[in-house]
Amino acid sequence: MTYPASYYIQTLRLKPHPEGGYYRQSYKSLETISKNALPARFKSDLTFSTAIYYLLESKDIGAFHKINSDEIWHFYAGTPLIIYCIDTIGNHHELELGPNLEEGQQLQIVIKTGHWFAARVKDPDSFTLAGCTVSPGFEFHDFTLANRAELVRAFPQHEKMIISLTR
């Protein structure tokens, strides 16, 4: 059965995400890792892992951002999602999260720590429902939403893409 985006937003109780789209945390480990046992980039103790539902509609973008942990994206429903990545030395690549493995889509995609990434639904008038798992667990103080001018200065070779995927 096919459901519209509104069904998932309502049924999963999703709320607006600062990068665009909708989300809700679905899991947060009860155990923590001490800040002293984590790399210096982390500001506090963190849980072992967190997970969210994330829904993006084709009329919106998941704006460029980066986090301090690796993040695994999982495809759940809707149409494919293009994830745009800029690594720490400025290389750009695009990954396609979706159900059609024969077309090179992937059911899971890993975004490495410190990489800038953004997302856009591939098909017009549609949406993607995904899940994101982060380890060590995600906290908003480890999230950096891109400043368009600063990201363009850092990676001028990707200016057109950055402008289209920032606010």
Q: 100: domain CATH number? A: 2.60.120.10
pLDDT at 126: 97
How do residues 39-95 score in pLDDT, each as one tens digit? Answer: 999 999 999 999 999 999 999 999 999 999 999 999 999 999 999 999 999 999 999
> Model's pTM, two decimal places?
0.94
Give the count of domains, the chain: 1
| Burial (CB count <10 Å: 0-12, 13-18, 19+), residue 151 | buried
Give the amino acid at 156.
P
How do residues 153-165 score in pLDDT, each as one tens digit? Answer: 999 999 999 999 9
Q: What share of the chain is helix, strand, coil (3-state, %, to 5)?
A: 20, 45, 40
Q: Which domain holds residue 92?
A: 5-164
